[in-house]
A and B are shown apart, each in its own frame.
Chain A
């Protein structure tokens, strides 16, 4: 009798011909990808109409592994690329998954402006407090005093509070979880996929290979244990008042969940009044499709 060949539980959602992936053992990304795919599936959206855009870095590689229309773009520019996609085809659900360096250092300006416009995008930032792919350099999230390969005497810089920044810039939805809150991540992704407007999720993820090694944090599991010990859930927390540091509390929750018009809705509202009366307006858009 032939043994049944065991299949991977995620094989419907992953490019199995690209496995094994390049991520290190104990990295949070594997379980985050699983939670993402389950979340969007639970949202009931057509996965054929879901486009995923990544920037550069460890998290940037997510686009290469998921069975979606997926784009691995330039460093920091995933959000404007995704904005072009969304504005070209409003039927698409467009998600961006990238790292803290990609989205908040080199791409920081794009993030705050997309949030300000309330562009209908789902942005997931996997925050490991460091540049992993390039070997452990300082990130805009590296806690004050933490060691990195470009902060050999400890980091001198104040880190960004990502949820505070995303909320201040005007996001419709802002949440933070650690890579251990997989069910919560999945639920947030589901909410974001259903919700209109700029949705932002920060996921605190362990990087054993560089962040833990530079900071004597032990293994990836030790980091996760530490994040678990430090984390608490408070949906009513003010996102401006919950910055992260080396050993303080990691306040998690859904801090912002607002309803407000998206960029595309504002365009529609503005143009419906004025453009349609203009003599150059083409009434039937299908007539002039090329």
Chain B
């Protein structure tokens, strides 16, 4: 799980072209959007696309579930792990 979280940190910084953010700056429990890392709706979309491509998974969820899965890095890692297993 920790490897996956580290990998996701790199992916987020690279795909979203975040300047002056290092992996250490991203708290896995903190919100990705709004007050936490400060990502926006375009980042959410790009991240969704990148995850499906990178991990070869097809995502399927309602809006409320999606919000939960994309809330933090830790939630996202859990979501990806579940989808890879299924």
A, B co-complexed: no
B interface residues (Cβ-Cβ under 8 A, vs A): none
Q: Which positions in A face B, CB cutoff 8 Å?
A: none
